[in-house]
């Protein structure tokens, strides 16, 4: 009985510190066909306060300096302020930098939502959380063969693996030029 009470109190405490990001993006992934010069993404502030938003693209290479990252896309605008209930169109443009010709390329759209400091009580200390949203960008070459994803998924190679360090698992080998969402 005592253990149940402790667990209940811990669960209530964990729930009381929850935070909700107020920014939304129009979609869970972005498909960028080669035939298009640019793709637009709609961002929206559903929160109760204005926010400052920073948007950038990376290739998930863990490069700390974005100037060294060699990214094939430009984001406009990359920094903007968004009022409550308002939206902003963000444009992704391909800059012509070389990408693989024989398969899809995957990059990441990053959106950092930063609360603006409150001007109503500047003498009080404030605690603010910045939220980072990451969405995959799939750059699809026109030269790739047509894909019927249901049939292509059946051709993926699955293998049971066992290893003393990682334990038992499943290894998936994808020899297709497309990425699959499982």
Residue ranges of the alpha helices (H) in the chain? 2-16, 149-154
The helix (H) or strand (E) run that includes residue 173 is: strand 167-173
Q: What pTM was computed for the model?
A: 0.72
pLDDT in tens, 55-74: 999 887 665 566 666 788 99
**21-144: in CATH 3.40.50.720:** no
43's CB contacts (< 8 A; 6+ apart) are: 23, 24, 25, 26, 53, 55, 82, 87, 88, 89, 90, 111
- Provide, rounded to the nearest whole percent, the portion of the chain with pLDDT above 90: 29
Distances (CA, A) of 18 to 13, 15, 21, 129, 153: 9, 5, 10, 11, 38
Question: Given this model, what pLDDT does residue 74 score?
Answer: 92
The tokens describing 35, both together, are 């035939």
Query: What are phi and psi for residue 70, nearest 5 degrees?
Result: 55, 65
Question: Given this model, what pLDDT does residue 149 score?
Answer: 67
User: Reduced to 3 states, what is the DSSP secondary structure of residue 12?
Assistant: helix
- Domain residue spans in the chain? 21-144, 147-182
Ranges under pLDDT 70 in the chain: 1, 9-21, 61-69, 121-123, 147-149, 182
User: Reduced to 3 states, what is the DSSP secondary structure of residue 67?
Assistant: helix
């Amino acid at each position: 009985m005592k253990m149940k009470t402790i667990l209940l109190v811990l669960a209530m405490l964990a729930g009381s510190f929850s935070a909700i990001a107020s920014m939304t993006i129009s979609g869970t992934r972005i498909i960028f066909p080669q035939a298009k010069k640019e793709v637009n993404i709609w961002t929206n502030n559903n929160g109760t306060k204005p926010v400052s938003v920073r948007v950038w693209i990376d290739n998930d290479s863990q490069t700390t300096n974005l100037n060294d990252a060699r990214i094939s896309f430009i984001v406009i605008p990359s920094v903007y302020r968004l009022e409550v209930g308002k939206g902003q169109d963000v444009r992704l443009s391909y800059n012509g930098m070389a990408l693989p010709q024989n398969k899809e390329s995957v990059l990441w759209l990053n959106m950092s939502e930063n609360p603006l400091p409150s001007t109503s009580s500047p003498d009080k200390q404030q605690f603010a959380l910045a939220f980072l949203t990451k969405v995959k960008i799939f750059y699809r070459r026109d030269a790739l063969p047509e894909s019927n994803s249901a049939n292509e998924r059946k051709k993926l190679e699955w293998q049971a693996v066992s290893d003393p360090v990682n334990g038992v698992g499943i290894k998936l080998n994808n020899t297709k030029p497309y990425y699959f969402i499982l």
